[in-house]
Structure 1
Amino acid sequence: MECQHPLWPYKKWEFKKLVAHDTSYTVPRSVTSTRIAFFIAGLSLATWAPLIPFAKIRLMADNGTMGMVMLAFGIGSLLMMPLSAVLASRYGCRIVFNIATLVMLMLLPALAIFDTPFTLALALFVFGSGIGGMDVVANIHAVHVEKLAGRPIMSGFHALFSIGGIVGSGLVSTLIIYGLTPLVTVSIVMMLVLGLLVITYGGLLNYSESNDSPFFVIPKGIVIILGALCFVAYIMEGSMLDWSGILLINHSDITANFAGVGYTTFALAMTLGRLLGDRLIKSFGRFNVFLVSSLIATSGISVVVGGINLFAMICGFFLIGAGLSNIVPILFSAAGRQTTMPTTLAVAAISSIGYSGILLGPAFIGAIAHQTSLINAFIVIGLLSFSLPLCSYLIRR
C-alpha cells in the first residue's frame, strides 16, 4: 500500500532538518518553484535545436562531423548526472540547480558564435553538463517535494518540462524567422531564464542528505531494474524523435515537408498525458496507471509497425506518446520510495541509465535498420517495450 502521509517516508528528524534548512519553507511554494525549474530545463534544452542548422553552416561541416560534435553534448550530460546528485546530496538542490543553470547560460552565446568543430564541441560538452545537472537535480527536488506534499505531482512536473521544450523551440524559431541573429536570440532566452531563476530561487529546498556522499556509486538492487525500465522508455522516446519522420515517409504517401507530423502528434500526446497524469494516479494508483500506460505504448508500436495507412500510423504515434507520458515520472517516484540507495543517488542512477537510452537508441535502431529494415528495428523496440508491463509489479511493491 502507498502511504499518503505528508511526512512519509521522511523520518521526523529529517523533516525537522529540512525545515531548519529552509525557514521560509512551504509546500505550495516549493511545488511552484519545482514546476518553474522543470520549465527552465525544458526551455533551455530546446533552445539548442533551432540553432543546429546555423552551426552546421558556420562550421561548413558534413553530417558525420556534426554528429561527432553533437555527441559532446550527450557525453557532458551523462558524466554530470551522477556528479550533480552527489553535489546535491552534500550542498542541497537549490545551490546545485542554480549553479548548473548559470553554467548552461554562460555557454549559450558560444553555441551561436563558435565556428570550429573543436570549440563548438567543447562548448556543447559544458552546455550539456549544465543541462544534465539541471535535469537530475530537478528530479531529485521533485521526489523530495512529492514526498512532502503527500500526493502524486511528479507527472505535472514533467509536463512543465515538455511545455518548456515547446516554448523554447517555438520562441527561438520565431525570433530567428523575424530576422534576429542567433546571438541576439539566445541573449533574449538568457534574460528570460535569469528572470525565472530569480522567481524560483526562494522556493527551492536546500535540504542535504549527507556531507560525505561518495563521488561514484554503483547502482544496485531495485535501482538497476528501475533504471533498465527507464532505459527502455527513453529508447522508445528517442525512436520517435529520430526515426518517426523517416518511417512515415517510407510507408505513407507524404513528402518530407510533412514528416514531422508524427513526432508532433507524439509530443502533444505526451504533454497531454502528463498534464492528466497526477489525477489519474490519484484516482487509480501508480501500479494501474503504469500497467495500462505501458500496454498503451506497446500497442502504439504495434499500430505504427502495421502501417496500414497514414491515419493509422498517426494514431499509433498518439498512443505511444500517451502511453509513455507517465512511465518515466512514475519510475522517478519509485526511486524516491525505494530503500536500497539514498534518494539522490538513486534518482541520478536511474537518470544516467535512462539517458544512455537516448544516446544509444538512435544508433541501435540505425544499425538494425541498416542490416535489415526500419520496420524490423521498430519491431525490436516493440519487443523491448513488453518489459514495461511485465515488470509493472515492481511499482506495486
Structure 2
Amino acid sequence: MSPRLVTFVVFLLNGAVFGTWASRVPALAGQVGADEGVLGLALLGASAGLAFTAPVAARICAVYGSRGVLIASTLLCSLLLPVLALSQSPLQMGLSLVALGASVAAMDVSMNIAAVTVVRDLRRPLMPQFHAGFSVGGLIGSLGSAAAAQAQWTPMRHFLVAALIGLIVTAIVAKSIPGGVGERHRQEATERASVLKSPVLWLLAAVALCSAIAEGATADWSALFMVRERGMGDAAAAYAYAGFSVTMALARWFGEPVQRKLGPHRLLAAGGGLAATGLALTVLVPVPAAGYAGFGLAGLGLAFSFPVVMDLAGEAGKRADGSGGERELGLVTTIAYTGFLAGPPIVGGLAHVSSLVLSLGFVALVTALIIPATWLAKRATRQPAGV
C-alpha cells in the first residue's frame, strides 16, 4: 500500500472511532444513569484527554518519530472502545473518555505528521483530502452505530465488533505507515527552541481556533437552531448539519485544484469569509431555506481551515533536510481542540442570556476573524520565525 493510501485509511479510522462512540452516547447515558448535566461533565473527559495529550504526543513524535506513536495510539483507540462500554457510572464513563480522548489526540497529531510527510514527498496539496477521510470515517462510524442500535446491540457488543475491525485494519496498514526520525533528528528536536516564540504559529493557531469554534458550534447547535428559531421538526432540522458535513467533505475531496490556484493563505481567507457569510445568512434571514443554505456555505468555507493550517504549521517547522514540524503541529492542534471544547458552551451561554440568533451571530463574527489572522500570518511568514 502506498503511504498516501495508508495515511488516508488512518484518517478514516480516526473518524470512524469518533463516529462510533459519539453516536452511542444516548445508549451509554442510559447505561450509566446520567442526566443531561452529569452527562455533559462526563463528556468533558474526552476533550480534556485531547487537550492535555496533544502537546505531549507532539514532543514524543519530534524525538522518536510519528510512526510508532501512530501505530500505538491507533491500537489503543480500538482497544479502549470496549473499556468505555464497561462503564457503569458517570465517573467511570468520564475516566474512560479521558483515556480514549488521549489516545485520539496522540493519533490525531501523529497522523497529521504522517500526512505532512506524504505532502512533502509528493509535493501536492493533499492535506484536505486526508481530512476528508476523517469525515468519511465519521459517517461510516455513525452509520454503523445506527445499524447497531437498530439491531438492539448493546454498546459492549457493538464496540467489540468495532474494535476487532479497527485492530485488523491497523495490522494491515501498520507496516506501510510513513514517519520516523534518526538519531541526529532526535538531537535537533531536543535542542530546538520553544515553538511558543513563533508569531506565525500563534496566528495559524488563531485561525484554527476560530474555525474550531465555528465547527463545534454548528455541530452542537445547528439542529436546535432550526427547530427553535425556524420552526422545523427534529428530522428536518437534522439536515442542517448534514448539509454542513456534506459540503465540507466534498470541498476537501475535490478542492486540490482550488488550493493550487489560490494558494494556502488566500484560500484560508476566502474560506473564512465564505463561512462567516453563511452563518450571517443563517441568522439574519428568518426563513428555513436561508438556514440550510447558510450552514452549507459554512461547511464549504471551513473545509480547508484545519487541513491547510496543519500544512502551514508543518512547513513552519520544516528543517533543511525536509523533516520537522512535529511540535508546531502539536501546538496548533492543542489550541484547535480548545476551540472545539469552548465553542458549544459559548453558544449555549450566550443563548441562555439572549437567543440562539444572537449567539450564532457572535460565532459568525468570530469566524470572520480568520481573514485578518490569515493576512497577519502571511506577513509574519516572510519574517524570521524566532524559533
- Note whether the superposition's TM-score is higher than 0.5: yes
Match of residue 316, structure 1, among 287, 294, 299: 294
Give the distance between the partners of 2:146 and 2:191, measured in 1 at CA.
42
Q: Which residue of 1 aligns with 2:145?
A: 172
Residues 77-111 of structure 1: CA distance to partner in whole angstroms, max 9, x if unpaired? 11110111111122221110111122222221122
Q: How far apart are residue 217 of structure 1 and its match?
A: 5.0
Distance 1:320 1:186, change over 3 A: same
Partner of 2:348: 366
Q: Which amino acid aligns with 1:325?
A: A
Q: Deviation of residue 216 (structure 1)?
A: 11
Aligned equivalents of 2:166 and 2:317: distance in 1?
35
Distance 2:41 2:18 in 1: 18
1:314-369 Cα shifts (integer Å, max 9, x gaps): 00010000000011111111102214995100000000001100101111111211
Q: Does 1:290 align with 2:263?
A: no
Cα 1:44–1:395, aligned 2, differ >3 Å: closer, same or farther? farther
Q: Work out the CA distance in 1 between the residues paired with 2:206 and 2:11.
A: 23
In structure 1, what is the equivalent of residue 89 of structure 2? 116
Alignment partner, residue 213 of structure 1: 190
- For residues 59 and 332 of structure 2, the distance between their equivalents in structure 1, rounded to whole angstroms, comes to 14
Give the whole-Å Cα distance in 1 for the aligned partners of 2:126 and 2:174. Answer: 20
Amino acid at match of 1:345: R
Identical aligned residues as a percent: 26
Post-superposition CA distance 1:27-63 (Å, at most 9, x none): x811111111101111111111122111111121211
Q: Is the 8 A contact 1:59 1:115 kept in 2?
A: yes
Show the 5 A alignment for 1:125-274.
125-208=98-181, 209-210=185-186, 213=190, 219-220=196-197, 221-274=199-252
Contact 1:110-1:120 at 8 Å conserved across structures:
no
| Structure-2 separation of matches of 1:202 and 1:219 | 34
Q: Output the CA distance in 1 between the equivalents of 2:18 and 2:196.
A: 27
Partner SS for 1:233: helix
Whether contact under 8 Å (1:85, 1:345) holds in the other structure is yes
8 Å Cα contact 1:223-1:346 kept in structure 2: yes
State the 1:392 CA deviation. 2.9
Aligned residue in 2 for 1:104: 77
Give, in angstroms, the shift of residue 214 of structure 1: 8.0
For 1:321 and 1:63, the matched residues in 2 are separated by 28
In the alignment, which of 368, 373, 384 is matched to residue 391 of structure 1?
373
Unaligned segments of structure 1, at least 5 residues:
1-27
Structure 2 match to 1:32: 5
Q: Which moved more, 1:290-299 or 1:156-165?
A: 290-299
Instruction: Name the SS of the counterpart of 2:186 in structure 1.
Output: coil
Q: CA deviation at 1:270?
A: 0.6
Letter matched to residue 308 of structure 1: P
Return the offset for 1:135.
Answer: 0.8
Is contact 1:365-1:377 (8 Å) kept? Answer: yes
Aligned partners of 2:264, 2:205: CA distance in 1, in Å? 17
Aligned residues: 370
AA of the residue aligned to 1:279? P
Match of 1:16 in 2: none
Amino acid at match of 1:354: A
- Measure the CA separation in 2 of the matches of 1:289 and 1:217: 28
Check conservation: 1:83, 1:215, Cα contact below 8 A: no
Moved more, 348-357 or 377-386: 377-386
Q: 2:53 aligns with which of 54, 57, 80?
A: 80
For 1:213, give the aligned amino acid.
T
Note if 1:338 corresponds to 2:311: no
- The alignment's TM-score, normalised by the length of structure 1, stands at 0.88
Amino acid at match of 2:233: T
Confirm or deny: 8 A CA contact 1:77 1:129 kept in the other structure.
Answer: yes
Aligned ranges 1:15-94 → 2 under 5 Å: 29-94=2-67
Distance in 2 between residues matched to 1:144 and 1:300, nearest whole Å:
34
Give the superposition deviation at 1:203.
1.9
